[in-house]
Structure 1
Amino acid sequence: MHGLEFDIAHMLAGSLVLASFMMLYQDRLYALLNIYALHATVLALSVAWQAFVQHAPHLYVTAAIALIFKAIIIPVSLHRIMVRLGIHREIETAVGVGLTMIAGIGLVALSMVVMLRVTPGADALAREDLAFALSVVLLGLLIMVTRRNAVSQVVGFMSLENGLVLAAAGAKGMPLVVEISVAFSVLIAFIVIGIFLFRIRERFDSVDIRALDRFRGERR
């Protein structure tokens, strides 16, 4: 692989980690959804570049799926769900932003150390992409853990899945049937999550998960 090809792939994967940090920092739902759309767009560009570098045309399908569904359809739909449910714009966090960002930096460092040590014989680009992908996955988990709002937890889950797609693309691609099945699985999960949010709003008049905890305590 030429130096320029490696540098561009490295920059795109690193930008995905940066976008994860931007989501981790946000305290407003609309901004969080906009940054998730950016996150998915960067993923699409990264996968498309991997398709070019690896001469793997089927990865262009993955990039198109990420761009259409993840960067456009899902964020727009979540925006509409928020408007219809009347969800407040502020995101309540379980941990302060400063501690959350420090934890995120620690997770990225851990990902780099672990992945680079367990893949000493792999291709240099694959090793670094897997390290970046693991960072995105762990940051997605951190978003889910530190956010109290159900919508922000859904966004954390979807950003985690973006990390898995980056890992699969960096590891010399994946079969087209797997890409299509993953895309439909995500779409079905999104539909189920949308119905779930409507039911929560209808039953508890809130999507703050602490309302569920209070209700569970009252029933005891």
Structure 2
Amino acid sequence: MQGYAFDIAHLLAGSLVLVSFMMIYQDRLYALLNTFALQAVLLSLAVAWQAYIQGAHHLYASAAIALVFKGIIVPWALHRIVRRLGIDREVETVTGVVPTMLAGMGLVALSILLMLQLTQSAENAIAREDLAFALSVILLGMLMMVTRRTAVTQVVGFMSLENGLILAAAGAQGMPLVVEISVAFSVLIAMIVIGVFLFRIRERFDSVDLEALDDFRGERQ
């Protein structure tokens, strides 16, 4: 049973890393949002599996929250924002896809080496591997935020980063349910604020491209 649990936990956590690479590779905005929804679904499955093997029933609620909020509500809200704003469907990047993917592979290798080295004395092997995968998801989310120009794609990168934090907390013997609920509501409130913010940017500058905003700031100076 332990080997079986180990393999499934690895499969789900590794799938999150793979989907993070898929998000970095996407050059269409709607495809990026759909891929993020897939990552949220995989996250909910990974957390639910951790709940099963740890016997931590409160993690089932965390998995349900991740599925409902990040797998359904947030992607639906972002789809509506993109349609309302009339944002260009192509994802604009700072660098090309190939350098970004190579940087991502380097970050994953660094995450695995670092976490396995730091957790050598840990008794729970599943937690060790999950922490390595979780750090990979976090760093890939940060990479997406750095290499994307539009505000919407940077929001997706931030929420992908937060998915990695949830995976890490679930793998490290779970998290208090009240923390997960507060995080879910914080994400929901952040989505409302971000939506209003993006509409205001669109009205003022006729663009949500951060490079255009930097150019405007330079002209003001």
Q: TM-score range by the shorter chain?
A: over 0.9
Alpha-carbon shift at residue 130 of structure 1 (Å): 0.3
Q: How many Å apart are 1:121 and its aligned residue?
A: 1.5
Q: CA deviation at 1:95?
A: 0.6
Could you list the runs of 5+ residues in structure 1 that have no partner in the other structure?
none
Q: How does 1:69-84 map to 2 (within 5 A)?
A: 69-84=69-84
After the TM superposition, list the runs of 4 or more consecutive aligned residues in structure 1 that deviate by more than 4 angstroms. Answer: none
Q: Percent identity?
A: 75
SS in 2 for 1:174: coil
Give the aligned partner of residue 32 of structure 2.
Answer: 32
Distance 1:115 1:5 in 2: 20
Letter in 2 for 1:87: I
Q: Distance in 2 between matches of 1:58 and 1:66?
A: 13
Q: How much does 1:181 deviate?
A: 1.1
The corresponding residue for 1:187 is: 188
1:164-183 to 2 correspondence within 5 Å? 164-183=165-184
Residue 41 of structure 1 deviates from its aligned partner by: 0.3
Question: What is the rounded CA distance, in whole Å, between the counterparts of 1:152 and 1:177 in structure 2?
Answer: 29
- Secondary structure of 1:121's counterpart equals coil
The one-letter code of the counterpart of 1:204 is F
Residue-by-residue CA offset, 1:49-99 (whole Å, 9 max, x unaligned): 000000000000110001001010110110011111111101111011000
In 1: Cα distance, 2:189 partner to 2:116 partner:
34
Q: Distance in 2 between matches of 1:103 and 1:195?
A: 33
Q: CA RMSD in A?
A: 0.7
Amino acid at match of 2:127: A
Structure 2 counterparts to residues 10-159 of structure 1, below 5 A: 10-122=10-122, 123-159=124-160
TM-score, length of structure 2 as denominator length:
0.98
The aligned counterpart of 1:217 is 218
Q: CA deviation at 1:117?
A: 0.5
- Deviation per CA, 1:133-168, whole angstroms, max 9, x where unpaired? 000000000000000011110000000000000000
The aligned amino acid for 1:50 is Q
Compute the displacement of 1:185 (Å).
Answer: 1.2
Amino acid of the structure 2 residue aligned with 1:205: D
CA–CA distance in structure 2, aligned partners of residues 175 and 83 of structure 1:
37
Distance 1:2 1:161 in 2: 28
Q: Partner amino acid for 1:175?
A: P
Q: Give the count of matched residue pairs.
A: 220
Q: Following the alignment from structure 1 to structure 2, what is the Cα–Cα distance between the partners of residues 40 and 198? A: 25
- Deviation, 1:182, is 1.1
